[in-house]
Amino acid sequence: MRIDAVVDGLRATSDGPVCAYVYDLDDLRAHAAAAVAALPPGCELFYALKANSERPIIETLAGIVDGFEVGSAGEIDLVRAAAPHAPIIFGGPAKTDAALAAAARAGVAAVHAESLHELRRANSVAAGLGLTLPVALRVNLAGPLPVATLAMAGRPTQFGIDEGDVPAALALVQRCRRLELVGFHFHCLSNHHDAAGHARLVAGYVTRARRWAGDAGVPLCVVNAGGGVGVDYARLDRPFDWEGFCAALRAGPGGGPAGPVLRFECGRYLVAGCGAYVAEVLDVKVNHGAWFAVIRGGTHHFRLPASWGHSHPFTVIPVEDWTYPFPRPGVRDVPVTVAGELCSPKDVLARDVPVEEVRAGDLLWFHHAGAYGWSISHHDFLSHPHPRRVFLDGSAGQPERDLTVAFGLRDEAAGEARRRSVRQPVTEAARVPPDEQADAAVVVDREDLRQSLGG
């Protein structure tokens, strides 16, 4: 995305320090379409809503991906509101009867069953509704598994059915008159960087699923390999080799016209790169020999770095304006820790990162913040204002409007919508009215933004 034009727009329309998420829907659309096109025949790509459940994200991906993976009845509602006819698959380790009923009523393509008890409850709920519920058995494989940031299987966790209990689960589901077995679900790892290793892992899933189905004498329709395709935040110049991964799938045992559908449910890989978190530096200070840049924002907006314990990559955007009548704090050529506005020493987004220069009033642009950012953060801790959420969309195609409309915000403290007075024209997409976005997420035409700000 054009960082210069976006930064100018954010600064021009803020009446306080800049703090925003910016999502490039054009980049998302192109990236998702390329990912789907690279998959071999017999494969499906679902989007894991947990990575970013903003409505413009869902609407952009609808019609490109094969469907949406959700983890709650609330996420079912989000998908149905934004993409009413999109296929849905439903996972999660603690589904209530109400959630199972919502899945049955919504006509999901599969519920990923996590235990024998859940199978019994799903059958009971479906029977009470007079419906049949398609299920896939989520299996917690025995290790060892490849190394990744998070592991949901290969060790004792709350996820899935122990591999040793699969025969019993298959026997049970065949006795449940209101359940239809569609296959198996594996989501063993999160943020795996090794494309060749991931392809081998998927091949192992297919081999096991075929063996279990054959032993039980049941058809195998779907093998869901989960997500887990990673982003290496320490080396953004080395993205996951999706093309190589897809080539390895073609040579493997899954998919194709003769095999079961090989399904993937990716979140981070699809949306991380389309988003940025932008925050203004409020202060630059030194404490016991260590330098800190303190920003308007923090982990209550962008929890991922603290959750995973990494320094998130960022770029310093210099801002030359300085309106105070006293010296501007700043530092050159030293490691800097980026800390937020919370009353917690854990409110850190990046630690000891060398910078050429950073000053109060500069902006920090955190790259690849489109996944597991706002959606997983503790938004209301200390009741700070929420960040703005701006969606750049070159397909908006709406008549020109004033930038005050395109960057219009809801005043969350007062609960009333307000507009910023700025002269430059820009386009707002009418498909996301302000009253449908509680925190005033807005869609802005990317090309108009660039032209109106001279980018």
Question: What are the catalytic residues?
Answer: 343
Strand partners, 443: 391
Q: Which of 400, 398, 325, 318 is nearest to 360 (CA)?
A: 318
CB atoms under 10 Å from CB of 346, counted, come to 10
User: Which residues 6+ apart lie within 8 Å of 297 measured at CB?
Assistant: 19, 277, 279, 340, 341, 387
How far is it, in rounded angstroms, from Cα 450 to Cα 428? 13
Q: Phi first, then psi: give them for residue 77, nearest 5 degrees.
A: -60, -40
Q: Which of 137, 142, 126, 134 is nearest to 170 (CA)?
A: 137
How far is it, in rounded angstroms, from Cα 239 to Cα 237? 6
Contact criterion met (CB below 8 Å) for 294 and 283: yes
Rounded alpha-carbon distances, angstroms, from residue 63 to 37, 48, 299, 372, 441: 13, 15, 33, 23, 22
Contact criterion met (CB below 8 Å) for 338 and 364: yes
How far is it, in rounded angstroms, from Cα 76 to Cα 90? 8
Contact criterion met (CB below 8 Å) for 266 and 229: yes
How far is it, in rounded angstroms, from Cα 76 to Cα 12? 37
How far is it, in rounded angstroms, from Cα 273 to Cα 251? 28
How far is it, in rounded angstroms, from Cα 383 to Cα 399? 36
Instruction: Output DSSP code: residue 335.
Output: E
Instruction: Output DSSP code: residue 75.
Output: H
* 246 SS3 class: helix
Q: Give residue 67's region: left, alpha or beta (phi > 0; psi -120 to 50).
A: left
Burial class (CB in 10 A: 0-12, 13-18, 19+), 44: buried
* 60 SS3 class: helix
CB atoms under 10 Å from CB of 323, counted, come to 5
Q: How far apart are the first and last CA of the chain?
A: 11
Containing 204, the helix (H) or strand (E) segment is helix 195-216
The rounded Cα 189 to chain-centroid distance in angstroms is: 16
